Structure 1
């Protein structure tokens, strides 16, 4: 049963961000087909952060109407919404309509909002639900959350999305000399995108299938014995066992706080029958939540907005590999966290600084677009791909270990984890959207016809 529960927790975790991760690994193909082109990642990023109305609503309900909003029905609703949105996206992703006289992929952007609503809300519902199960299943859940990026990335690699080649094209042009016009030919290099092995239609249907698997796993997980049930059975085998998380008494282990911030407060030594909590000073808690907000702002808001500008100057292959391999770095970081857990806050601070440094390099290359460092050299391709992989991997490890540390504290601590994750992501996206789409701080160019000095 323990092995089965681990499997269910892993499959359940894959549904937390699979829809949005699927969109990101498909972006190298979508930027060649949708009218937003290189600006598409920034649109996706700001839409994802707009969808924070979902976790905001859930958090406010927990704060002002505790016990009214049940986690299990909410999870059923959001996962079902994700399934429906993925299916609709498979059929409508390429539909465009004019907005202000400019064509936009309205169907894709609207459905992206609903998928984002699902995944953002999972941050404040999936983790608190996992609090009901034994602590050993939380790391398995994080592995599944990492697989939500790995599996779409593997599918995208097999799809070959966004792969291109440079071809020499000769065009006939009219050349005017005084009053005479003659025809001439001009040769230039242009980008030609290779057809994908299968279309986005099938890719989004596969994403919908993963969401269905998540729903089935949650159905069985919600019927597993809860932590407090096991504790009660050990202490009071003849008593009536609580079967709902919301029925816990206010002073019991893992109970919701009834006033103030949903973040937990220390209650001293645990009473008999309660789950042991780990106590942190206010400064350490503030540092942990800062790490969560900072790493989330970089990984979910700031850097995704400019990944196209950071990678496309090196070619579509570099962009494709950066998008897919960096997604694979997330589950690898989760597995490393399971095998080599590091609870030292000093270690997490060092790793966060290292990840920030890799992110700074990626941002610098985006700012230098379309002529970043090492642009004509294959070394440039290798360095930018490696930088994106290490950026994602190190910061993913930090976020996973922060979640494991807070799991040992309380349900409210995990709720605050989700809230800080979404707050950081929102601030990062709000910072980058005007820089990309209003002020035009980043420049695009055709890779094959690009001529950079040196």
Structure 2
């Protein structure tokens, strides 16, 4: 019975961020079809931030009418919306509409908003429900939440996206001559399975999560439940797509935190706390706003394969880094500062390559492809570890510290996405190119 509940908790966690993570790793295929092209990621970052309206409304209802909103009802609703949205993606993801004389992917944007609404709202509904179970099952839930980022990346790698070839394309010049004009045309080779199949996979993951929640909700309330086994304060989510591992607070520290929250861990001075919150703001600004908006511009000049590997492996690096943080914890602010600096260096390289698009460094070489993919993986991995450890540090301080951590994370994400959107879509500071026809100076 215990193993069965562990499996249910893990399967339930799959539905937390699998949809949004799946969209990101599928972008190498989608950007070649939708009219927004390389600008598409900048649209998605803004849409995901707007979807934070969901958890805000849930939080307000809990505060104003605490007895009128049950987590179970909300969870059933959002998982059902997630399944329906994934199914709608299968049929409408590539449909476009003319807006102000320009073709736009309105259907894709609307469905993406609802998927983001589901995943963002899961952060404030799934964990409160899991806290009804003993702590060992909550830890398993976080493993499932990590798999929500890992599995889409693995499936995208199996999809085989990214292979292109340059073919000669002939075009007749003029109406009264038979002379042909030859030019190179980029042809994208078909993947092992289509985008529609991938979206069906996302829908299946959401169905598994819904079925697991239904089973968990039907467990007898006497099953290993007592007020002594309920989980105390947990680490809140500080990143979109992956929460921190569910480590318990020592009961003595929890008692101190409840009696005097601001003195629960007095070893951190005001300057230390300021540094910690600045790290939270900057890390989330970079990982959730600035860099995702220009990932196409930094990777696509090296070919669709480089873009595909960077998105898929970065999605895998996130849960791997969080798993490492479960077993190898280093709370030194100096170490975290150095790691943040290192992640910023990788991010700066990625941004620089995006700014140099369509002619970044080492374009056309295998070395250039390896460097840009590795840079994206290490950028995601290092800063994901920082997110986890900052959450652990603030968890041990007080509940209010975690609340401010979440607020700082959301503020950083919002600032990053809003900053990049006009630069990419209005000012057009970043230039796209054609893999086969772009001529770059040696």
Mark yes or no: TM-score above 0.5: yes
Q: CA, structure 1 residues 312+98, in 2 after alignment: closer, same or farther (shift >3 Å)? A: same
Instruction: Report what 2:418 is aligned to.
Output: 430
Retained in 2: the 8 A contact 1:52–1:121? yes
**Relative to 1, partners in 2 of residues 1:80 and 1:97: Cα closer, same or farther, differing over 3 Å?**
same
RMSD: 3.2
SS at match of 1:190: strand
Contact kept? 2:161, 2:305, Cα under 8 Å:
no
Larger radius of gyration: 1
Deviation of 1:174 (Å)? 3.4
Counterparts of 1:303-382 in structure 2, within 5 Å, are 303-382=291-370
- Does structure 1 residue 187 correspond to structure 2 residue 198? no
- Whether the aligned pair in 2 keeps the contact of 1:142 and 1:334 (CA below 8 Å) is no
Q: State the shift of 1:17 in Å.
A: 1.1
Q: Match of 2:437, SS?
A: coil
2:169 paired residue number? 169
In the TM superposition, what is the alpha-carbon distance from 1:70 to its structure 2 partner? Answer: 3.2
Give CA-to-partner distance per residue, 1:345-391, whole Å, 9 cap, x none.
33333222211211111111101101111113221100000000111
1:217 corresponds to which of 212, 218, 239: 212
Shift in CA distance, 420/225, structure 1 to aligned 2, threshold 3 Å: farther
Match in the other structure for 1:394 = 382
Verify: 1:201 aligned to 2:196, yes or no: yes
Task: Point out the more displaced range, 418-427 or 402-411.
Answer: 402-411
Of 211-220 and 425-434, the range deviating more from structure 2: 211-220
Given the superposition, is the C-alpha separation of residues 322 and 232 from structure 1 closer, same or farther in structure 2, using an over 3 Å criterion? closer
Find the aligned partners of 2:117 and 2:430 in 1 and give their Cα distance: 28
Deviation at 1:227, TM superposition (A): 12
5 Å-filtered alignment, 1:38-437, equals 38-174=38-174, 182-222=177-217, 223=219, 230-232=226-228, 279=265, 281=268, 283=270, 284-408=272-396, 416-437=404-425
Q: Single out whichever of 294-303 and 418-427 deviates more from structure 2.
A: 418-427
Query: Does the Cα contact within 8 Å between 1:150 and 1:328 map onto a contact in 2?
Result: yes
Say whether the 8 Å CA contact 1:132–1:226 is kept in structure 2.
Answer: no
Q: Distance in 1 between matches of 2:11 and 2:121?
A: 18
Aligned to 1:236: none
C-alpha separation in 1, matches of 2:173 and 2:408: 58
Matched, 1:450 2:438: yes
SS in 2 for 1:165: strand
- The residue that corresponds to 1:31 in the other structure is 31
C-alpha distance in structure 2 between counterparts of 1:76 and 1:406, whole Å: 31
CA drift at 1:423: 2.6
Q: TM-score, normalised by structure 1?
A: 0.82
Deviation at 1:56, TM superposition (A): 2.0
Cα distance change on mapping 1:80 and 1:164 into 2, 3 Å? same
Contact 1:132 1:227 in 2 (8 A): no
1:323 Cα offset (Å) = 1.0
Q: 1:102 to 1:377 in 2, by over 3 A?
A: same
Tell me the distance in 1 between the aligned counterparts of 2:128 and 2:309: 34
Q: Distance in 2 between matches of 1:71 and 1:409?
A: 27
Deviates more, 1:408-417 or 1:378-387: 408-417
Q: Is contact 2:171–2:182 with CA below 8 Å preserved after alignment? A: yes
Residue segments in structure 1 that go unaligned for 5+ positions in a row: 176-180, 234-242, 246-252, 256-266
Question: 1:31-61, CA deviations, whole angstroms, 9 ceiling, x for partnerless residues?
Answer: 1111111111111111111112112223333
Paired residues in the alignment total 420
Once residues 403 and 226 of structure 1 are traced to their aligned partners in structure 2, the CA distance between those partners, rounded to angstroms, is 32
TM-score scaled by length of structure 2 = 0.85
Mapped partners of 1:275, 1:344: distance in 2: 26
SS in 1 for 2:174: strand
